[in-house]
C-alpha cells in the first residue's frame, strides 16, 4: 500500500546521502595513494580493457567507507542488518585481496557463497514470491526448502552481475547508483524507512566516488567496489522488494537490476554456446558491443544509463500503480530511446550495420563450395604454389599496359 512520505524520513534520507557522499569523496585520494603502495594497479594488458595507462583499482574501498559511516550514523542495526554488514565486510576483504593479486574464480565463488550464507543465517531470506502467472489461482508461491538455495543464488548472481558490467569508466558505479535510487524511491513509497536509509547511504557513496571514476577515470572501483555494490543491492532488494510480496510485483526486482542481470545471462549463454568456460572473461559484453559499434566510452555509458533508468522508472510505476501502466510506460520509453539513438548516433549505427554486412559477406565467401576454390587459396596446377590476388592483378595490368611486373 502506498503511503504518504514523512518529512522526518526525507530529512534523514538527505542526511544519509550527504554524509556518505562527502566521506566517500574525501577518502578517494587516501585510497588512491594506498592502492599505489600495495600494488593494486590495473595494467592494460589485453583488448578487453578500455584504458591506456596503469590505473589504481581500489576505489571500492572509498565507496565502502562512505557507506559504512553513513549506516552507523543513520541506520538502526538490527539482527538482519548485522548479517548484511558482516557479509559485506567479507566481500570487501575478498575484493581488496583480489585487487592486489588476482585470485582464482573458484575460490572467490566459494567466499561469495559464504558471504551470502552469513546474510541468510541472519534472516535475509526470500520465503515467498508473488506468482507471475496471472491466470493461476495461487496468488503467491511459498518456496519452502528452496528458500535458502534460491536466496544464495540471487545474492551471488547479482554480486557477480555488477562485477561483470564493470568494464567502462563510470558504468558499474552509475548503473548501481540508478538501481539504488530506484530502490530508495520504492522504499519511500511503501514506507520502508530502513531500506530507504540504506539505499540513501549507497547512493551517496557512489556519487562521492563518481568524480574519480568518470571518463577518463582517475581510479577504478575494482572487484572491491563492484562485488560490494552487487552484494548490497542483492541483500537489500530481498528486504525491500521480495519481503513485501503483497505490495510489490514479482518482476520489480528484475526490472531494478535488469541491465546487469541481462548482461550476465547473455555472457554465460554466449560462452556455453561457444564451448567456453562460463566464468572465463571475454570481450562480448554489452558495453564492448557498443564500443565496437563506434560509440566512444562516454556515449556507451550514457546509453546504458538510459536503459537502466527506463527499467528503474518502470519498476517505480509498477509499484505505485499497476502492471498495465508500467508495461505501457516501458514500451513508450523503449520506443523513445530507440528513436533518440537513431537521431543521436546515426553514424555509429550505420557503421555497425556496415560491419555486420562485411562480416556476413566474409562468412559467405569462406563457405564457398569445395569445387570453386577462392582465388586467395587457389594453387597453380603445375608448380603447386599459391597464387596471390595482388600478383594476378599485377600480371593482368602488365599485359594490358605492355609493361613488366616484378
Does residue 227 contact residue 163 with C-beta atoms inside 8 Å?
A: yes
Cell numbers standing for residue 315: 519498476
Q: Give the pLDDT confidence score for residue 406 in this predicted structure.
A: 40
Q: How far is it, in rounded angstroms, from Cα 149 to Cα 147?
A: 6
Greatest mean pLDDT among 143-147, 257-261, 293-297 lies in 143-147
Q: Cα-flanking dihedrals φ and ψ of residue 106, to 5°?
A: -60, -40
What are the pLDDT digits (tens) for 231-247? Answer: 999 999 888 666 554 44
**Which of 304-322 are b and which e, b meaning 16 or more Cβ less than 10 Å from the residue's Cβ?**
bbbbbbbbbbbbbbbbeee
The 3-state DSSP class for residue 379 equals: strand
Q: How far is CA 108 from CA 99, 166, 224, 328, in A?
A: 12, 17, 12, 41
Task: Return the higher-pLDDT residue of 246 and 17.
Answer: 17
DSSP per residue over 128-189, as a string? Answer: EEE-S-TTSS--EEE-GGGHHHHHHHHHHHHHHHHHHTTTSTTHHHHHHHHHHHHHHHHHHH
Q: Is 123 exposed, middle or buried (0-12, 13-18, 19+ CB in 10 A)?
A: middle
Q: How far is it, in rounded angstroms, from Cα 386 to Cα 384?
A: 7
Q: How far is it, in rounded angstroms, from Cα 192 to Cα 246?
A: 14
Cell numbers standing for residue 67: 557507506
Helical (H) or strand (E) element with 42: strand 41-42
Phi-psi bin for 39: left (phi > 0), alpha (psi -120 to 50), beta? left
Q: Which residues pair with 140 in a beta bridge?
A: 130
pTM: 0.75
What are the pLDDT digits (tens) for 342-392? Answer: 555 555 455 555 555 665 666 555 555 554 444 444 444 444 444 444 444
What are the pLDDT digits (tens) for 287-330? Answer: 667 776 667 778 888 888 888 888 888 778 777 665 555 566 66
Task: Return the higher-pLDDT residue of 136 and 141.
Answer: 141
- Among the listed residues 111, 118, 115, 42, the one whose alpha carbon sits nearest the alpha carbon of residue 79: 118
Dihedral sign (CA 118, 110, 99, 177): negative
Cell numbers standing for residue 200: 540513501
- Among the listed residues 351, 267, 259, 354, the one whose alpha carbon sits nearest the alpha carbon of residue 308: 259
- When mean pLDDT is compared across 22-36, 37-51, 71-85, 162-176, the lowest value belongs to 37-51
Q: Give the pLDDT confidence score for residue 186 in this predicted structure.
A: 86
Q: How far is it, in rounded angstroms, from Cα 338 to Cα 399?
A: 54
Amino acid at each position: 500500500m502506498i503511503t504518504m512520505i514523512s518529512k522526518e524520513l526525507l530529512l534523514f534520507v538527505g542526511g544519509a546521502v550527504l554524509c556518505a557522499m562527502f566521506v566517500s569523496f574525501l577518502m578517494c585520494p587516501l585510497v588512491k595513494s594506498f592502492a599505489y603502495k600495495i600494488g593494486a594497479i590495473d595494467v592494460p594488458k589485453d583488448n578487453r580493457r578500455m584504458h591506456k595507462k596503469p590505473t589504481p583499482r581500489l576505489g571500492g574501498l572509498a565507496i565502502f567507507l562512505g557507506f559504512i559511516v553513513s549506516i552507523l550514523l543513520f541506520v538502526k542495526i538490527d539482527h538482519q542488518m548485522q548479517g548484511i554488514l558482516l557479509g559485506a565486510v567479507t566481500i570487501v576483504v575478498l575484493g581488496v585481496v583480489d585487487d592486489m593479486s588476482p585470485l582464482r574464480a573458484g575460490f572467490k565463488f566459494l567466499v561469495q557463497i559464504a558471504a551470502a550464507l552469513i546474510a541468510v543465517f541472519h534472516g535475509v531470506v526470500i520465503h515467498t514470491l508473488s506468482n507471475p502467472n496471472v491466470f493461476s489461482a495461487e496468488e503467491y508461491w511459498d518456496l519452502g526448502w528452496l528458500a535458502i538455495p534460491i536466496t544464495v543464488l540471487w545474492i551471488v548472481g547479482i554480486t557477480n552481475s555488477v562485477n561483470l558490467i564493470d568494464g567502462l569508466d563510470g558504468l558499474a558505479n552509475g548503473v548501481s547508483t540508478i538501481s539504488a535510487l530506484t530502490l530508495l524511491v520504492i522504499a519511500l513509497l511503501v514506507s520502508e524507512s530502513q531500506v530507504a536509509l540504506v539505499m540513501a547511504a549507497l547512493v551517496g557513496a557512489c556519487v562521492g566516488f563518481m568524480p574519480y571514476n568518470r571518463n577518463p577515470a582517475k581510479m577504478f572501483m575494482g572487484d572491491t567496489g563492484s562485488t560490494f555494490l552487487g552484494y548490497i543491492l542483492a541483500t537489500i532488494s530481498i528486504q525491500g522488494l521480495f519481503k513485501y510480496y503483497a505490495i510489490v510485483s514479482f518482476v520489480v526486482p528484475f526490472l531494478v537490476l535488469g541491465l546487469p542481470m541481462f548482461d550476465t545471462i547473455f555472457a554465460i549463454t554466449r560462452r556455453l554456446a561457444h564451448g567456453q568456460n562460463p566464468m572465463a572473461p571475454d570481450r562480448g559484453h554489452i558495453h564492448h558491443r557498443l564500443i565496437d559499434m563506434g560509440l566512444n566510452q562516454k556515449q556507451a555509458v550514457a546509453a546504458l544509463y538510459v536503459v537502466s533508468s527506463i527499467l528503474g522508472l518502470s519498476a517505480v510505476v509498477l509499484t505505485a500503480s499497476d502492471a498495465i501502466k508500467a508495461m505501457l510506460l516501458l514500451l513508450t520509453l523503449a520506443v523513445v530511446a530507440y528513436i533518440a539513438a537513431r537521431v543521436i548516433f546515426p553514424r555509429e549505427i550505420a557503421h555497425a550495420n556496415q560491419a555486420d554486412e562485411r562480416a556476413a559477406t566474409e562468412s559467405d565467401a569462406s563457405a564457398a563450395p569445395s569445387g570453386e576454390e577462392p582465388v586467395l587459396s587457389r594453387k597453380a596446377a603445375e608448380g603447386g604454389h599459391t597464387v596471390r590476388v595482388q600478383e594476378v592483378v599485377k600480371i593482368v595490368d602488365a599485359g594490358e599496359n605492355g609493361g613488366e611486373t616484378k
